[in-house]
C-alpha cells in the first residue's frame, strides 16, 4: 500500500475542516478549486475599511500603517509623473493625519481626481529581488461621508502559482528541519519557528480561502509549533490581526519577529506527550461539534 507524503495544503486543510464544522453556515472554500470561469475572471477578497460614514473598527489599528504606506506611494507617483508639483504635494501630505485628509490631495493631479489605487508588493525569500503582488488599496470619493477606502486581494491563477511555489519551498525546508529537530536536540528550534511563520506570512498574503484565512493560519502556527516542542503562552494583542499584520509588514522576517513577540514561546510540559490522539478522542462530527461548543472557561482559568 502506497502512502502520500503530507504537503503544505494538507496541513492547512486540517484547520480548514475544523473551521467548517465550527460554523457550517459560512462555507470555507479553497479559491483555486473554484470553477474555471471564476478563476479566469479573478476572485476578489474585498474588505471595506471606510464606506461613507461606516468605519470598520475591526481593522482600525491598521489605518495609520496603511496611511503611511499610501503617503509614500503618492510621493513616488508624483515624483515620476508630476515632478513640478512634488513639493506642493509633499507639503500637503505633512498635514495628513487620517485617511479622509487625502481627499483634497487627490485633486492635485487630473488622473487621481476621482480616486486612486495603491498596490503593495511582497518580497520573495526563494528568489531574492523578486516581488509578488500583495493587496490593492482603493480610495474614491469627493468629501468626508462620501468616501470608499477599501482593500482587495486578487486571486488569479498566475498569482496563486507564484505564492504556492514560495510556500512549497518553505514547507520542504520546514519538513527537513523538523525531522532534524526530532533527531537532535542541538538544532535551534527558533529556526523551525521562523520557517512556520514565514510560511504563514505568504499564506496570509495569498488569501487562498473564501473566509477564515487568519484563524486557519494561526491554528496551523500553534499546531506546528507544538509538533516542534514549543507551546504558545502569549496572546495576540488587542486590535491586532494575524492576516493584516502579515499583509502590512514589508518582509517575512519582520513579520516573524513581530509574531514571536506576541507568542511568548515556552517548551512543552511533559504531560503534553501523554495526551490522547485527536482523531481517536473526537471520531465523529457530533463529538467535534460538541468539543467546539464546550465552555472552556472552567478548564482554562485566568491567571491572576
Strand arrangement, sheet containing 43-51: 54-55, 43-51, 146-155, 131-143, 115-123
Rounded Cα distance between 135 and 248, Å, is 9
Angle between the N-to-C axes of helices 8-22 and 285-292, in degrees from 0 to 180, rounded to the nearest 10:
70
Residue 32 C-alpha cell reads as 483555486
25: three-class secondary structure by DSSP:
coil
CA proximity to 143, closest of 53, 46, 48: 53
86-127 per-position pLDDT tens digit: 888 888 888 888 888 888 877 776 666 777 888 999 999 999
User: In whole angstroms, what is the distance from residue 280 CA to residue 225 CA?
Assistant: 22
**Looking at residue 237, what is its pLDDT?**
93
pLDDT of res. 6: 84
Q: What is the pLDDT along the chain (304 residues), one digit of tens a residue?
A: 456 788 999 999 999 999 999 888 888 989 888 877 766 666 778 899 999 889 999 999 999 999 999 888 888 877 777 777 788 888 888 888 888 888 887 777 666 677 788 899 999 999 999 999 999 999 988 777 788 999 999 888 889 999 999 999 999 999 888 777 666 655 567 888 999 999 999 999 999 998 888 999 999 999 999 888 888 889 899 999 999 999 999 999 999 999 999 988 888 888 888 889 998 999 999 999 998 888 877 766 665 4
Compute the distance between CA of residue 175 and CA of residue 7 in angstroms, rounded to an integer. Answer: 9
Q: 106-131 burial, b for 16+ CB within 10 Å, e for fewer?
A: bebbeebeeebebebebebbeeeeee
Other CB atoms within 10 A of residue 102 CB: 21
Length of the chain: 304
For 70-90, how does the pLDDT look when each residue is reduced to its tens digit (9 = 90+)?
888 888 877 777 777 788 888
Q: What are phi and psi of 253, to 5 degrees?
A: -65, -40
**What is the rounded end-to-end Cα distance, in angstroms, of the chain?**
53
Distance in angstroms (rounded) separating the CA atoms of residues 148 and 138: 7
> Of the candidates 132, 127, 134, 174, which has an alpha carbon nearest to the alpha carbon of residue 8?
174
Question: What does the DSSP 8-state code read for residue 228?
Answer: T
Q: Distance (Å, rounded) from C-alpha 121 to C-alpha 119?
A: 7
Q: What is the pLDDT of residue 304?
A: 44
Cβ-based neighbour number of residue 149 at 10 Å: 23
Distance CA 67, CA 58 (A): 16
C-alpha cell at 38: 471564476
CA distance 124 to 208: 17
CA-closest candidate to residue 122, choices 256, 209, 250: 250
Q: Name the grid cell of 288.
A: 467535534
Hey, CA dihedral for 97, 100, 101, 105, is it positive or negative? positive
What topology is assigned to 8-33+157-292 in CATH?
Fic-like fold (1.10.3290)
Nearest-angstrom CA–CA distance, 201 and 212: 15
pLDDT of amino acid 163: 96
Domain segments of the chain as ranges: 8-33+157-292, 44-155
Amino acid at each position: 500500500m502506497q502512502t502520500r507524503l503530507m504537503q503544505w495544503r494538507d496541513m492547512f486543510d486540517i484547520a480548514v475542516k475544523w473551521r467548517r464544522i465550527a460554523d457550517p453556515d459560512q462555507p470555507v472554500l479553497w479559491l483555486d478549486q473554484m470553477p474555471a470561469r471564476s478563476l479566469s475572471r479573478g476572485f476578489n477578497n474585498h474588505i471595506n475599511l471606510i464606506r461613507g460614514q461606516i468605519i470598520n473598527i475591526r481593522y482600525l489599528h491598521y489605518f495609520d500603517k496603511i496611511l503611511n504606506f499610501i503617503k509614500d506611494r503618492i510621493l513616488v507617483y508624483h515624483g515620476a509623473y508630476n515632478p513640478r508639483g512634488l513639493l506642493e504635494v509633499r507639503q500637503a501630505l505633512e498635514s495628513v493625519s487620517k485617511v479622509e485628509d487625502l481627499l483634497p490631495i487627490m485633486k492635485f493631479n487630473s488622473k487621481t481626481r476621482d480616486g486612486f489605487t495603491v498596490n503593495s508588493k511582497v518580497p520573495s525569500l526563494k528568489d531574492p529581488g523578486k516581488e509578488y503582488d500583495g493587496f490593492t488599496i482603493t480610495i474614491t470619493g469627493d468629501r468626508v461621508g462620501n468616501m470608499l477606502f477599501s482593500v482587495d486581494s486578487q486571486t488569479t491563477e498566475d498569482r496563486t502559482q507564484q505564492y504556492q511555489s514560495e510556500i512549497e519551498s518553505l514547507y520542504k525546508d520546514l519538513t527537513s528541519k523538523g525531522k532534524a529537530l526530532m533527531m537532535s536536540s542541538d538544532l535551534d528550534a527558533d529556526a523551525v519557528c521562523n520557517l512556520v511563520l514565514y510560511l504563514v506570512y505568504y499564506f496570509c498574503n495569498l488569501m487562498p480561502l473564501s473566509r477564515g484565512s487568519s484563524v486557519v493560519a494561526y491554528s496551523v502556527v500553534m499546531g506546528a509549533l507544538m509538533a516542534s516542542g514549543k507551546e504558545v503562552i502569549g496572546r495576540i494583542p488587542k486590535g491586532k490581526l494575524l492576516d493584516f499584520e502579515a499583509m502590512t509588514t514589508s518582509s517575512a522576517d519582520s513579520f516573524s519577529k513581530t509574531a514571536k513577540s506576541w507568542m511568548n514561546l515556552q517548551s512543552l510540559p511533559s504531560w503534553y506527550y501523554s495526551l490522547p490522539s485527536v482523531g481517536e478522542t473526537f471520531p465523529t462530527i457530533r463529538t467535534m461539534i460538541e468539543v467546539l461548543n464546550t465552555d472552556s472557561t472552567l478548564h482554562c482559568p485566568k491567571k491572576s
